[in-house]
Amino acid sequence: MSHIPYPSIPSVPKVPHVPVSPCPSIPSVPKVPHVPVFPVSPGSPYPSVPMSYCPHVPMSPRSPISQRPGLTTCVCPRVSRPPPPILSPPPQVTALCLYPELLKEPSIPEDAKKRARRLLEACGGNSVGAYSASPGIQLVRGDVARFIQRRDDVPSKPEDIFLSTGASDAIVSILKLLVSGEGKSRTGVLIPIPQYPLYSAAIAELSAVQLNYYLDEEHCWALDVAELRRAVTEGRRHCCPRVLCIINPGNPTGQVQSRQCIEDVIKFAFEEKLFLMADEVYQDNVYAEGSSFHSFKKVLFEMGPPYSEVVELASFHSVSKGFMGECGFRGGYVEVVNMDPEVKQQLSKLVSVRLCPPVTGQILLDAIVDPPQPGDPSYDLFMKEKKAVLSTLAQKARLTQEIFNKCPGIHCNPVQGAMYSFPRIELPPRALAAAKEQGQAPDMFFCMKLLEETGICVVPGSGFGQREGTFHFRMTILPPTEKLKVLLEKLSSFYAKFIKEYS
């Protein structure tokens, strides 16, 4: 499709700032706009502490929990890292593309300007405001392919790359492509338990059949092929297992799969003729000593025929995680391997329905997969920031495990990767009975009590799935180190008090 160049637009005069009147019900909040508020019970022995999990949207001051009488509120700061300075290379390239007048700014490094000009020339009308091709900007697809080739030392083709609105969009698109049949012929999708709820929600939306395989908590959430075989065998009684989903590194469990485990999974998929979906959005987030990320594609091709020629694979990545964490830009991609050409054509049709992924997300994705190289003016700053983010996350992963495991009744596996811990908690019978009386899952009951008394918000394990009779919660490791330490200690103290109260 040809694009009509945009005419030059005269400069727009600055609009004077108009102050917004503060909300009368919460006069202290306007200084910290768009920040969720959480209640703390009067007389609680716990002071306000940073929330451990940031919801996707701010909590409205008009929400029921905010208006509960007799409760004060604590304002929760943004728990992820603060926004990078404008000189941080990937956001800088994005800013240049959004406002090309900045290309005249002498303080901005020339390599960033060069990257921005290259990307703008690939956009329709030299503007990020134009639609791109449905699979994404061709230039960016090529850069993603080169990134994968550098990472894996395995050939990658731009035509196998489909850019997406975050990895979630691509995951749902692939599932749509694979779900078919009725009754016992309906597609069965194997997902790990605990799992990221996107999978169970998408499976339900598509009326596919969810087949659970349980990760082994006693062995650091390892994946056991015998458990996969059990899930497939049981699934064949009422559906047709066709898809195997893997999350590596794990969310919410934080494990990193070994190369041997990945080989075993690929062999199993080959034997059972399963389509492999590898969710690898946390591939940059690996912290544990002795752990390293192995992409499914790299292992697949190093295994050689017949696996490398037969096993169908879709692997996913995103700008939302890693060392950038720019989730609001909604950038991501899927690479398909060994997909039948006719099926890939159907995938092209499917993604064309949504017109195109956000162009700004594509721009940021390109800045991440094609970062500054040695010798570039931006290189030193880029590497300094990247190393600082990842080393701090590694420190906080160790801190989380250490503090939780000092508390009797809490067991936390090593956080090998990703951004979360998923500790198991013991709950006494009286707590189980109280939860049942309120119509809540036991871990939900605990998490709500924690929220009400301390202002700390974590996510109950029942939201991710867990073995019957076990209870967990997911907590992020993103808050600043000192605040995270306070949060962990307050949570541990509350747990001890909770156990005493319900014993």
DSSP 102: G
| Domain edge (last residue) among 324, 341, 369 | 369
Looking at residue 290, its pLDDT comes to 86
* Inside any domain, residue 7: no
DSSP strand E in 363-444: where? 410-411, 420-421, 424-425
Verify that 281 and 328 share a domain, yes or no: yes
> Are the C-beta atoms of 330 and 354 separated by less than 8 Å?
no
The total number of structural domains in the chain stands at 2
Q: What's residue 88's pLDDT?
A: 66
Q: What's the confidence (pLDDT) of residue 325?
A: 79
- Are both 230 and 358 inside the same structural domain? yes
Same domain, 176 and 284: yes
Provide CB contacts within 8 A for 187, sequence distance 6+: 178, 179, 180, 181, 208, 209, 239, 240, 242, 243
Instruction: Tell me the C-alpha distance between 138 and 159, whole Å.
Output: 9
Assess whether 306 and 271 both reside in one domain: yes
Does the residue 231 lie in any domain? yes
Specify whether 226 is located in the same domain as 171: yes
Residue 46, domain member (yes or no): yes
**Do the domain assignments include residue 382?**
no
Could you tell me the two tokens for 167?
A: 């990895």
CB 244 within 8 A of CB 274: yes
318 to 214, 241, 280, 481: CA distances (angstroms): 25, 27, 8, 25
- The per-residue b/e assignment along 119-129, b for 16 or more CB within 10 angstroms, e otherwise, is bbebbbebbbe
**CA–CA distances in Å: residue 483 to residues 2, 104, 425, 477:** 52, 40, 22, 10
In a domain, 440, yes or no: yes
Identify whether residues 417 and 364 lie together within a single domain.
no
Q: What is the mean pLDDT of each run of 10 residues along the chain (503 residues)?
A: 43 48 42 38 39 41 46 39 54 91 90 94 92 95 97 96 95 95 94 95 95 96 96 96 97 95 97 97 91 96 96 96 84 96 94 93 93 90 90 94 95 95 96 95 96 93 94 94 94 95 92
- One domain, residues 349 and 405: no
Dihedral pair phi/psi, residue 443, rounded to 5°? -75, -30
Kindly state whether residue 123 falls inside one of the protein's structural domains: no
Give me the CATH number covering residue 226.
3.40.640.10
249 and 205 in a single domain? The answer is: yes
- Do residue 173 and residue 236 come from a single domain? yes
Which of 305, 335, 369 represents a domain boundary (last residue)? 369
Which of 342, 369, 396 is the last residue before a domain boundary?
369
Q: Are residues 229 and 267 in the same domain?
A: yes
Query: Are 263 and 348 within one domain?
Result: yes
In a 3-state reduction of DSSP, which class is residue 37?
A: strand
- Does residue 225 belong to any structural domain of this protein? yes
322 within domain boundaries: yes
| Cα distance between residue 327 and residue 391, in whole Å | 20
Are residues 324 and 414 both part of a single domain? no
- Structural domain containing residue 252: 131-369
The pLDDT score that the predictor gives to residue 40 is: 40
pLDDT value at residue 62: 43
What CA–CA distance (Å, rounded) separates 357 from 166?
8
| CATH number, residue 44 | 3.90.1150.10
Q: What is the pTM of this model?
A: 0.81
- Amino acid at the residue 280: E
